[in-house]
């Protein structure tokens, strides 16, 4: 099997013409290509929680699930993937059969796994980011849908020096940053990234807080960081 190791993080980021793929992302088409396992072994929900890092509210919790969605409107720009909630240590499951490759620490993605697979005959990579280092494996290998491929972690820019921030309560809910950042890349047959898609829409998942547009600073005082 040919592994497109030449796929670079730069290619995976900006400068992609997303409009080329707009007509492939309708829910009807996504649901027509098959059944895909939700990759976090927990209830399907967006991450939702964020931590305010500067200004008068630094340290307080922010509930903004719209930021967790693909292209979510963050202050830093549209989000490049889907942030799926999962506490550190939760199993990450293969969303379909394919070949996985362990990719070591990157400043933003941390430890991450590429899952190479095809959707309606077209090559894709599902990028699973911020994984726990305990799931490392030495060489690419084949997996079936539902196989455990790793564990949710806090590596890369998911947390603070590898530890995700959390607070005991925030409006009665535990605020937790831990999550799986999932990104869906389209490849041509030569292994070059040609586009990017909304993974949640493409795989046809129903994820909690999909339509929650709220953005709420939570807690009356700055929260203690670990």
Q: How far apart are CA 109 and CA 115, in angstroms?
A: 15
Whichever of 26 and 73 has its CB closer to Zn ion, that residue is 73
Kindly tell me which of 108 and 147 has the beta carbon lying closer to Zn ion: 108
DSSP for residue 41? S
Provide φ and ψ at 57, rounded to 5°. Answer: -100, 15
Beta strand pairing call for 173-176 and 98-103: unpaired
Least distance (Å) from Zn ion to the CB of residue 180?
9
Nearest to 50 by CA among 165, 193, 180, 173: 165
Per-residue x/- track, 136-175, Zn ion (CB under 5 A): ----------------------------------------
Residue 181 engages Zn ion in binding (rule: CB under 5 A)? yes
H helices of the chain, in order, are: 9-12, 27-32, 199-203
Q: What's the token pair of residue 112?
A: 């991450």
| Shorter beta-carbon distance to Zn ion: residue 112 or 181 | 181
**Residue 178 contacts Zn ion per CB under 5 A:** no
Residue with CB nearest Zn ion?
A: 181
Q: Which of residues 68-97 bind Zn ion (CB under 5 A)?
A: 81, 83
Residues that bind Zn ion (CB under 5 A): 81, 83, 181
């Amino acid at each position: 099997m040919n592994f497109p190791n030449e796929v670079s993080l730069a290619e995976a980021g900006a400068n992609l013409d997303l409009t080329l793929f707009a007509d492939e992302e309708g829910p009807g088409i996504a649901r027509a290509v098959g059944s895909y396992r939700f990759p976090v072994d927990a209830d399907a929900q967006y991450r939702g929680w964020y931590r305010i890092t500067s200004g008068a509210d630094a340290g307080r919790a922010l509930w903004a699930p719209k930021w967790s969605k693909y292209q979510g409107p963050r202050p830093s720009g549209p989000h490049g993937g889907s942030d799926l909630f999962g506490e550190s240590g939760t199993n990450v499951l293969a969303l379909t059969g394919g070949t996985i490759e362990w990719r070591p620490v990157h400043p933003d993605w941390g430890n991450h796994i590429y899952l190479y697979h095809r959707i309606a005959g077209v090559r894709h990579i599902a990028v699973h980011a911020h994984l726990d280092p305990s799931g490392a494996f030495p060489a690419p290998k084949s997996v079936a849908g539902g196989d455990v491929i790793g564990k949710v972690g806090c590596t890369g820019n998911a947390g603070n020096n590898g530890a995700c921030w959390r607070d005991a309560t925030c409006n009665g809910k535990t605020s937790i940053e831990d999550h799986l950042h999932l990104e869906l890349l389209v490849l041509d047959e030569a292994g070059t990234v040609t586009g990017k898609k909304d993974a949640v829409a493409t795989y046809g998942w129903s994820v909690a807080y999909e339509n929650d547009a709220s953005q709420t600073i939570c807690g009356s005082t700055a929260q203690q960081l670990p």
